[in-house]
């Protein structure tokens, strides 16, 4: 990748595009990072951008994207606009020679995502998708445990993300909430393990015109299974995941800051045998393991801070970010397959043999 013309130790000039729901969070983290210097906040409503920046900010507020992209001191752009505009804004930034960070989802379709990835690679620029949950201390530890083999081979993942949430006007609950869980799954899976098919069931019992409750089932190439429940209609908020491995099982409760992770040395063991005999012999081969539970200590740290540092590392090092454009593409492929399955009444949709990358 092209790490640009600026000196390696100088802060990276960055602009945030979009001052709505997520933009202010990016503004705060870029301003607090020694790696970046925030130069612009661009929004169609300049007053909204000015309110985010405050009266004493040296950052410039504008509604002119072209002016931002013409600034040679801006080496990177963070796109926090609605998903339908990601292709237009991110593509313009890439063509202006800027490294690009894009909010989830990467684009509105796999086709659009492919175009962004191809443009970034052609120009030697970093394209990163802000899959924020992947940068939480809990998920980083889960990835470490799975990749390092401490949990054993993945057998299943069961994720629940439900709350009494804001019913979106333009997308269903899958496109609103499931990108978090799908990006986490993509992030933590060990090398060589990947989904091969997906089925989705959903319901709209309030007449919203789109699914407000949905269940996604993903089959992996190892025979493991992942199940994701997303819901806008639950009176309680739950953010949990159970990750079953052949050695240990991990429970993640994101709403329990005192014990987000619990690792159980409990499970089912099957003794090896050259040939299985009758039913009684098969029963004898199965045993149940009940060991200790360990709660790993985690250092609390804002995920966006870690994500911003990863963006800087990718730019300076010229290497792909942990959640690069190709990771965003894989999530889009799963969402598109789930959407097709939902439309077909829950049919099992095989992912394209040709990689979405």
What's the pLDDT at 4?
A: 43
Shared domain for 117 and 141, answered yes or no, is: no
Domain limits for position 173: 137-303+334-350
Q: Which residues contact 245 (CB under 8 A, 6 or more apart)?
A: 146, 150, 151, 152, 153, 154, 155
Among candidate residues 144, 238, 153, the one with its CA nearest the CA of residue 192: 153
Average pLDDT over residues 165-180: 90
Residue 327 counted as domain residue? no
- Given CA atoms 88, 116, 90, 342 in this order, what sign does their dihedral have? positive
Give yes or no: residues 38 and 153 share one domain: no
Name the phi and psi angles at 113, rounded to 5: -60, -40
131 part of a folded domain? no
Q: Using one digit for the tens of pLDDT, what is the confidence trace for 242-282?
A: 999 999 999 999 999 999 999 999 767 666 655 555 665 55
Instruction: Provide the pLDDT for residue 266.
Output: 72
Question: Do 244 and 220 belong together in one domain?
Answer: yes
- 17, 26, 42, 90 from 45: Cα distances, Å: 11, 17, 8, 19
For residue 296, the SS3 value is coil
* In a domain? residue 96: yes
Residue 5 lies in a domain: no
Give the mean model confidence (pLDDT) for residues 31-47: 96
Same domain, 38 and 110: yes
144 and 212 share one domain: yes
* Residue ending a domain, choose from 72, 98, 125: 125
DSSP readout, 322-343? Answer: TTBHHHHHHHHHHHHHHHHHHH
The H or E element containing residue 163 is: strand 154-164
Count of structural domains, the chain: 2
215 and 344 inside one domain: yes
CATH number at residue 151: 3.30.360.10
Check whether residue 147 and residue 242 sit in a common domain.
Answer: yes
Last residue of a domain, one of 98, 125, 152: 125
Tokens 């539970």: give the residue: 293
Query: What pTM, to 2 d.p., does this model score?
Result: 0.90
Same domain, 33 and 116: yes
Residues 120 and 261 in one domain: no
Show the tokens assigned to 222.
């190892």
* DSSP 8-class letter at 346: S
Same domain, 253 and 284: yes
Q: CA 93, CA 100: separation in Å to the nearest integer?
A: 7
Residues 94 and 148 in one domain: no
Instruction: Calculate mean pLDDT across residues 194-213.
Output: 96
Lowest mean pLDDT across 112-126, 164-178, 265-279, 309-323: 265-279
Report how far residue 289's alpha carbon sits from residue 284's, in angstroms, rounded to the nearest whole number. 14
260 within a domain of the structure (yes/no)? yes
Boundary of a domain, candidates 93, 125, 157: 125
Tens digit of each residue's pLDDT (9 = 90 or more) over 316-338: 999 999 999 999 999 999 999 99
């Amino acid at each position: 990748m092209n790490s640009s013309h600026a000196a390696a130790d100088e802060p990276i000039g960055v602009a945030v595009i979009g001052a709505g729901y997520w933009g202010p969070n990016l503004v705060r983290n870029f301003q607090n990072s020694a790696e970046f210097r925030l130069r612009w906040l661009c929004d169609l409503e300049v007053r909204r951008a000015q309110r985010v920046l405050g009266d004493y900010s040296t950052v410039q507020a504008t509604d002119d994207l072209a002016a931002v992209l013409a600034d040679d001191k801006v080496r990177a752009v963070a796109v926090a606009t609605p998903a339908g505009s990601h292709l237009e804004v991110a593509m313009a930034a890439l063509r202006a020679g800027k490294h690009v960070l894009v909010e989830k989802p990467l684009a509105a379709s796999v086709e659009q995502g492919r175009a962004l990835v191809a443009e970034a690679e052609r120009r030697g620029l970093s394209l990163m998708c802000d899959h924020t949950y992947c940068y939480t201390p809990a998920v980083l530890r889960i990835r470490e445990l799975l990749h390092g083999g401490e949990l054993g081979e993945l057998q299943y993942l069961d994720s629940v993300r439900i709350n009494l949430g804001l019913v979106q006007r333009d997308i269903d609950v899958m496109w609103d909430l499931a990108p978090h869980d799908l990006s986490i799954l993509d992030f933590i899976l060990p090398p060589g393990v990947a989904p091969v098919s997906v089925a989705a069931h959903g319901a709209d019992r309030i007449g919203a015109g789109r699914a407000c409750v949905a269940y996604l089932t993903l089959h992996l190439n190892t025979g493991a299974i992942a199940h994701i429940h997303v819901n806008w209609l639950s009176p309680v908020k739950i953010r949990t995941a159970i990750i079953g491995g052949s050695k240990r099982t991990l429970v993640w409760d994101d709403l329990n800051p005192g014990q987000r992770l619990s690792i159980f040395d409990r499970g089912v063991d099957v003794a090896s045998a050259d040939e299985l005999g009758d039913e009684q012999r098969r029963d004898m081969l199965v045993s149940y393991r009940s060991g200790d539970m360990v709660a790993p200590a985690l250092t609390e740290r804002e995920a966006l801070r870690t994500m911003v540092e990863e963006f800087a590392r990718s730019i300076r090092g010229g290497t792909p970010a942990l959640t690069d454009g190709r990771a965003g593409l894989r999530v889009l492929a799963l969402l598109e397959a789930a959407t097709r399955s939902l439309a077909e009444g829950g049919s099992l949709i095989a992912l394209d043999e040709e990689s979405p990358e």
